[in-house]
Amino acid sequence: MPSPGALAPPRLPVEDTYLELLADTLESLDLPARGQFLQRFLRTISHVELRESECVQVWDETLARRRAMTDQAGRQVAFKAALLDVLASSGFLRVPIIIEHEDLKKLELNAVTDPLTGLYNRRLFGESFEKELNRARRYTQPLSLVILDLHRFKEVNDKHGHPRGDEVLRATAATLKKALRTSDSAFRIGGDEFALLLPQTDSQQALALSRRVETVFAEMIRPLQLEVTVSMDHGAAIFPQDAEQADQLIRIADERLYQQKHNNHKKTVNGARRTEPPSSQETVPAAATPAEVPGPLPPPVSIETKRAPEKAENNREAHAFVSANPPSAQVVPAPARMFAVQRKAERVSMTGTNAYAVLGEQGGKRARVLDLGFGGVAIEFDSQEEIPENLFAVLHVPILPPVRVNLKPVWKQQTEQGGTRVGCSFVS
């Protein structure tokens, strides 16, 4: 009987009370039945999955370890303490690592992100490409792969040093983040090589977006004031038009990239560019025969001046608005169909996407959206329309939610079908 004032020995868990009874009962069972019982018992109390033979071995070692620990401590040791010691020393139980959720998210992001540019890395590119291909197959939609390469980037490193080259790479990443849509993904897959995945994008849209990326890139690196003229080459491959497997699409995009890079090297002579025919990726429609050429349409007319645009050399401030007919349907018998001044950023064609605009605060009129870009939008009415100086519109474009914009009409032109095509700039 313990003396008054002495501390009572610590009480053992309830399951230890039945330990001796359990041990005696298991001794009377044959080995298969004992292993089956112990497998369920250890799974319940320790949440580890072991084979029946391993469970019998762990049980015997736990009983022996418990006796040894009891003798060493001079008091009864709990069964679970002995079991944990056996499982840990046997390698059956992994030591848990506790980490904050935010830190875990940072680790996951770092694992798939290029540290210099902040773009996704090559590892995630492979995983994402397969997922987008499976989605494109399931919904029978096009998927474009664009591979980009910086032309004369090595000369930047040689002439200005690698820190300046890193600035060019960061400018490239900023270009892609600025130029791409929310549904698109950009990856850095090599030193100066990048890849774009463009869901629901056909060859015409991929080409327009690639040109836009190249134009925005030229603007982004201008503040760096490099002595070397760095440009961006691209090669595109379209699912399922070009191929259906990821490796085939990558090979085709690579071939087209290096074909364009070779053409650019041929064009460059002492830093100046010569005029060359368009590459195979930028095919132009064949000239129409005299029988196919329709009668001349009125040229686009400025909303402000009520006149057709002047030539580029006489009007450098002219707005760039290209007729939004798809290339396959365009016939250009005379320069009146197109403004000579090239727009600063290419627009993405919305032809065939059922994109439309609802005009006016009350939504009284509706027009088709022909193309869309950073600076504005081209819309078309089925009939002749008087265009006010300012328009409020809600744009309904695939992938994006409805967008409320204020528009300023810049140019209008009569169509062959008797409608009105209008080029508008966004007003903040």
Is 149 a catalytic site residue?
no
* DSSP-based three-state secondary structure for 175: helix
* SS3 assignment, position 213: helix
d(CA 195, CA 186): 6
Cα distances from 70 to residues 23, 58, 79, in angstroms, run 17, 18, 10
Cα distance between residue 191 and residue 156, in whole Å: 13
Q: Which of 85, 114, 149, 192 is catalytic?
A: 192
Q: How far is CA 400 from the centre of its chain?
A: 15
- Amino acid sitting at position 417: Q
Q: Which residues pair with 404 in a beta bridge?
A: 394
Q: Answer for the pair 164, 226: CB distance below 8 angstroms, yes or no.
A: yes
Task: Decide: 322 and 339 in contact? Cβ < 8 Å.
Answer: yes
d(CA 419, CA 112): 50
CA distance 232 to 220: 12
**AA letter at 298:** P
What is the DSSP-derived secondary structure letter of residue 338? Answer: B
The residues with which 165 forms a beta bridge, in sequence order, are none
What is the three-class DSSP state of 226?
Answer: coil
Burial class (CB in 10 A: 0-12, 13-18, 19+), 108: exposed
Please give the Cα distance from 347 to 114 (Å, whole number).
29
Least Cα distance to 407 among 358, 341, 362 occurs for: 358
Q: Letter for the amino acid at 15?
A: E
d(CA 172, CA 159): 19
* Alpha carbons within 13 A on the beta-carbon side of 111: 7
Rg of the chain's alpha carbons, rounded to an integer? Answer: 35
- The bridge status of strand 365-372 relative to strand 376-381 is antiparallel
Report the alpha-carbon distance of residue 128 to residue 238 in Å, rounded.
Answer: 16
What is the residue whose two structure tokens read 């009668």?
295
- Residues serving a catalytic function are 192
